[in-house]
Amino acid sequence: MLRSCPSAKNPVNSPTTQDDVAKCVDAPVLHVNADDAEAVAHVARVAIEFRCRFKKDVVLDLVCYRRFGHSEEDEPMFTQPFMYKKIKSMTTVDKIYAAKLLEEGVVTVDDIKQWEKSTWTR
């Protein structure tokens, strides 16, 4: 299948989303909420299996946000104050997943504290 891809001569077809870029190479797009660690792992496994079986590219669209802006020079509270006020109040992925594991009885609070300690002392 032939797709119209963007070019300097044809800016009308310039991509606006990852779906548009994926269409250029006829790749499926798998969208996943990046706040759901298990869903991200599952979709990554599906993408790997697809790539191995069909020898085709796959695009993973992690639906997420940048907690600290786009670069070291960017201060997002100046450029996007309302959005980053909301982002600052959101629970981080590690805390969301830790709460899920605690709720399911998979880990203890001590396990989580040990993981956090080992992560920050590397």
From CA 107, how far away is CA 116, in angstroms rounded? 13
Q: For the chain, which residues make up each domain, given as ranges? A: 1-64, 66-122
pLDDT at residue 5, rounded to an integer: 53
Higher pLDDT, 110 or 4: 110
Higher pLDDT, 33 or 10: 33
Q: Structure pTM?
A: 0.75
Higher pLDDT, 25 or 39: 39
